[in-house]
Chain A
């Protein structure tokens, strides 16, 4: 039976990076996952509302958790930033009953459902990077990645702060590596995989942000990666859409195709390439498709 999740794709996957949402939806049945829509769910605030109005951030995120609770399903995310914001709010109210009471009072006044604190928030990567998940991938992906050399790129907010995230050692993460290997790919290891992509400040401090993404892009290139994979659509925008700008700023060439996590899985599981909407990428993925024989 399919595992049901309250599906929270987040704004970027729903709009700017539609290819991520489309691929996740196409992939879900192959992974025995049923994605239940959350029609009431707002933006998580992406850390921006938290740094403008912290109490509003908390209340809006608890409202999202409450919708999932009413649906009777844990939340599944496909974005680092959404995962952190939802998990952080969840932790705050679960650890402080008085705070939950205050937040619930605001929710009830606004006509929203109060939250009981029973929901967990997990990312697709975490759901799959378990023994069960990995054996499912091995079983369902006989086509495999055909030795494609992939640089895992975690970014920040799925790892840190570990007190909120806690799935794996933030300094020596292995979930993406295990997944790449299970899918028949080869891991291109490099130091920059847990560094920042710079996206949160890319509009306000572009040069600083691009210098940050350079660390990971150049690291992946130097490790001989044919592609980079990321569990976060914001990292994807920084690494893919802004890649040429970073090349111009740093005077270097990366030519690095960047895959969303579900696209990498989809390639190995034989998902039709049109359904993964690679045409929406900035850096062409033709060589990747050729290697995996898609």
Chain B
């Protein structure tokens, strides 16, 4: 047997409590107990008003994501003793997932999540009339989207997404993982339209590459990698007007010019219009020697190898 204190986030606006707080529950439990089992026992044995969202209890429905000592996990696939050992604490603080408004205790309002999910058109849009039989796809083609197909929409990736924290309208990791899953599906006929739909304000180029989504995903989807692949699809489809795409283009140009980053090019090329408003900063950067005074490019040794690679390496996205 083991014993643990659970410091649980409480918020019950329907009961006239407008402020949230944390409440401690002490629980004796078997060594092998999940966070979800513990929460449900607390609900059954100590406080029936505790609100928890769950369904399958086996890491497939994606309902029970929450934060345990600040780290977003699925409650049903996280062992209490392991969480204690990992954090080195005997008390486990349980909070609702981040970047969403709480409704009651550990239950949050997922409406924005589902709106963003719908916005990426997370379904196949093939061309032409449906065939008589199913559309067969070779195994290798499906392997391209196998990782992303494993997403269970638990929103663990949204919980600590740093771009979402700064821009609540950012479409976000899970939705884009689904977007890639269909953009890269050879049966789908909307590849270019998807590239356009996913670019622009709050789109793929909003991702700040904090890598929290890859770190937190309980199913190994690696949403950041999917966003990166959507960037490559946008490049392939020549959808590169967004400032984020232009930023990436500046790196490609630098590579062609000499092999190293041309830092004078990158600012102006990324944002030729808005860059004007950054003139005071650019001037200070120049004064501090943070920008080169001449537009010299930096050439590496054996640059012809780089030139040949740029010309010859085939993209397979």
Contacts and interface: CB of A to CB of B under 8 A. Distances in A.
Nearest to A197: B208
Interface string B228-266: 110110010000001111111111101100011101001
A172 interface: yes
Contact of B254 (A43, A157, A162, A172): A43
B266 A43 contact: no
A43 B255 contact: yes
A43 B210 CA distance: 20
Contact of A212 (B162, B246, B270): B162
A26 interface: no
Interface stretch (A104-112, A133-141, A144-152, A265-273): A104-112
Interface stretch (A12-20, A118-126, A180-188, A252-260): A12-20
A117 interface: no
A231 interface: no
Interface string A165-204: 0000111100000000000000000000001101011011
A63 B309 contact: yes
Interface string B210-224: 111011000000101
A47 to B, nearest CB: 6
A52 interface: yes
B205 interface: yes
A212 B229 contact: no
Contacts of B84: none
B305 A112 contact: yes
Contacts of A280: 288-290
Given A14-B298, A47-B209, A204-B242, A53 B252 contact: yes
Nearest to A103: B313
Interface in A66-115: 106-107, 109-112
Given A52-B251, A55-B315, A55-B316, A15 B228 contact: no
Nearest to A18: B289
A49 B247 contact: no
A43 B205 contact: no
Contacts of B292: 15
A2 interface: no
A51 B231 contact: yes
A52 B235 contact: yes
Given A52-B252, A171-B70, A16 B291 contact: yes
B248 A51 contact: yes
Q: Which of A48, A63, A282 neighbours the largest number of chain B CB atoms within 10 Å of its CB?
A: A48
Contacts of B306: 42, 60, 63, 110
A169 B86 CA distance: 9
Nearest to A47: B209
Contacts of B227: 51
A42 B260 contact: yes
A196 B210 contact: yes
A215 B98 CA distance: 15
B263 A109 contact: no
Given A56-B310, A59-B309, A201 B235 contact: no
Contacts of B235: 52-53
Interface string B168-187: 00100000000000000000
B214 A160 contact: yes
Given A52-B235, A241-B281, A204 B205 contact: yes
Nearest to A171: B71
Contacts of A209: 166, 208
Interface string B88-119: 10000000000000000000000000000000
B159 interface: no
A143 interface: no
Q: Which of B208, B212, B284, B289 neighbours the largest number of chain A CB atoms within 10 Å of its CB?
A: B208
Contact of B208 (A49, A208, A282): A208
A70 to B, nearest CB: 12
B268 to A, nearest CB: 9
Nearest to B261: A11
B71 A42 contact: no
A41 interface: yes
A111 B215 contact: no
A282 B305 contact: no
A106 B310 CA distance: 10
Nearest to A170: B215
B165 to A, nearest CB: 7
Contacts of A15: 260-261, 263, 292, 298
A40 B306 CA distance: 9
A195 B245 CA distance: 24
A111 B232 contact: no
Given A12-B261, A200-B208, A43 B302 contact: no
B210 A160 contact: yes
Query: 4 closest Cβ contacts across the A-B interface?
Result: A51-B231, A160-B211, A11-B261, A110-B308
Given A11-B263, A163-B214, 12 more contacts: A14-B260, A42-B255, A47-B209, A48-B248, A54-B232, A111-B305, A161-B222, A204-B242, A204-B271, A208-B163, A211-B165, A282-B284
13 contacts: A16-B290, A43-B251, A43-B260, A52-B231, A53-B313, A109-B312, A111-B305, A112-B309, A160-B210, A161-B222, A172-B88, A201-B244, A204-B271
